[in-house]
């Protein structure tokens, strides 16, 4: 009878070796145990840095999950391993989530080359979830060739995904009333590849033309990446080989043009911000009590906001080295 591995150091050792059960248990701890997460992430970090991290974003209903399932099948057929971090929206009332991406990707989850992890966005408004970056780190350290992050995609300002990934894919579909608005927004600036999904529907060619027209307003300069537009259809299974090729082509471009270092610097900057946020968390009991007292003083006009901020920051900076 095999002993069940539960110690974090043993789980990390097994996860880095590719054991899916250990990966799943570590993923659960990273998601549900914020006190243990920093130490686990620190142990995983030296083993990471090799995966091609991809962001999949776009408005709700464009078929991001189905697209990822087909892309996973394509990459698996090429002998590549893909881990998917799929973020589902949380209920603003209960905080729960249906985690429906697990249902849409059920067939992919049976593929030994594919690992699917769904999680709730909770109180995040940027289309991600609190533990997304830690899960990306876990799958990277576990030796997956690609790690894909699917955002909730419920707004035009969810641009943080570009700080976590090497390649950002923006998905659109025919007939979406807000498609041009989304392209006009900041997502237009972060996308490396555009996908027109559900290309079997009428109007797909028009969406491609709209994207091409908007891209022409700000053409790529010499030595810049020229974003590609890839039509895909889950119904007839077309376009996913081309999408996989373009994702690989973008990574090769980053490598050959010295841009990969820039992307890694951007990701590292985001990692530093998260580490600082962890070490200065307002959710610790002592700090939370202090914040409550300071807020009460502010409400009673006993202190001014600047003095309140200084009080909290002093407490945070005093506590941080000991955590």
Arithmetic mean of pLDDT, 162-188? 76
Domain annotation covers residue 248: yes
Share of the chain above pLDDT 90, in %: 54
Please count the structural domains in the chain: 2
Q: What is the pLDDT of residue 123?
A: 54
pLDDT band at 181 (very low <50, low <70, confident <90, very high): low
Domain region containing 259: 49-274
Is 291 found in the same domain as 187? Answer: no
Final residue of a domain: which of 259, 274, 289?
274
Our measurement of the distance from residue 207's CA atom to the centroid of its chain's CA atoms, rounded to an integer in Å, reads 25
Q: Write down how long the chain is.
A: 323
More confident residue, 68 or 60: 68
Q: How far, in Å, CA of 257 to CA of 281, rounded?
A: 39
Structure tokens at 236: 């007839």
Q: Under 8 Å CB-to-CB from 22, ≥6 apart: which residues?
A: 5, 10, 11, 12, 13, 14, 15
Same domain? 169 vs 85: yes
Do residues 292 and 160 both lie within one domain? no
**What is the reported pLDDT for 263?**
94
In the predicted model, what is the mean pLDDT of residues 14-24?
A: 95
Q: Are residues 69 and 212 in the same domain?
A: yes
Mean pLDDT of the chain: 84
Residue where one domain finishes, among candidates 274, 291, 312 = 274
| Same domain (yes/no): 185, 302 | no
Residues contacting residue 20 through CB under 8 Å, at least 6 positions apart? 115
Query: Are 188 and 290 part of one and the same domain?
Result: no
Pairwise CA distance, residues 143 & 123, whole Å: 30
Is 119 among the domain residues?
Answer: yes
- Exposure of 148 by Cβ count < 10 A (0-12 exposed, 13-18 middle, 19+ buried)? buried
Report yes or no: 40 and 9 within 8 Å, Cβ to Cβ: no
Q: Which long-range contacts (CB under 8 A, 24 or more apart) does 182-185 make?
A: 182/58, 182/59, 182/156, 183/210, 183/211, 183/214, 184/214, 185/156, 185/157
Same domain, 65 and 191: yes
Same domain, 301 and 209: no
């Amino acid at each position: 009878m095999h002993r069940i591995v539960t110690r974090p150091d043993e789980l990390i050792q097994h996860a880095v070796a590719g054991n899916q059960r250990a990966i799943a248990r570590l993923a659960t701890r990273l998601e549900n145990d914020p006190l243990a997460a920093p130490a686990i992430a620190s142990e995983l970090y030296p083993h990471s840095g090799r995966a091609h991290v991809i962001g999949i974003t776009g408005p709700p209903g464009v078929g991001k999950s189905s697209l990822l399932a087909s892309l996973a099948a394509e990459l698996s057929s090429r002998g590549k391993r893909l881990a998917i971090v799929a973020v589902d929206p949380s209920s603003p009332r209960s905080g729960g989530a249906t985690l429906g991406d697990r249902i849409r990707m059920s067939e992919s989850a049976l593929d030994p080359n594919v690992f699917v992890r769904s999680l709730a966005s909770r109180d995040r408004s940027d289309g991600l979830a609190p533990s997304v970056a830690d899960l990306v780190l876990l799958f990277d350290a576990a030796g997956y060739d690609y790690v894909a992050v699917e955002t909730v995609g419920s707004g035009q300002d969810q641009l943080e995904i570009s700080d976590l990934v090497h390649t950002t894919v923006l998905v659109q579909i025919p007939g979406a009333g807000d498609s041009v608005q989304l392209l006009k927004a900041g997502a237009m600036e972060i996308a490396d590849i555009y996908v027109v999904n559900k290309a079997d529907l009428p109007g797909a060619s028009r969406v491609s033309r709209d994207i091409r027209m908007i891209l022409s307003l700000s053409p790529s300069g010499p030595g810049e990446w020229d974003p590609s537009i890839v039509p895909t259809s889950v119904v007839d299974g077309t376009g996913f080989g081309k999408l996989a090729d373009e994702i690989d082509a973008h990574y090769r471009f980053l490598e050959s043009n010295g841009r990969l270092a820039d992307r890694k610097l951007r990701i590292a900057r985001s990692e530093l911000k998260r580490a600082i946020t962890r070490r200065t968390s307002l959710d610790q009991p002592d700090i939370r009590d202090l914040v409550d007292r300071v807020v009460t003083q502010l409400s009673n006009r006993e202190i001014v906001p600047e003095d309140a901020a200084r009080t909290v920051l002093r407490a945070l900076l005093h506590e941080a080295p000991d955590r």
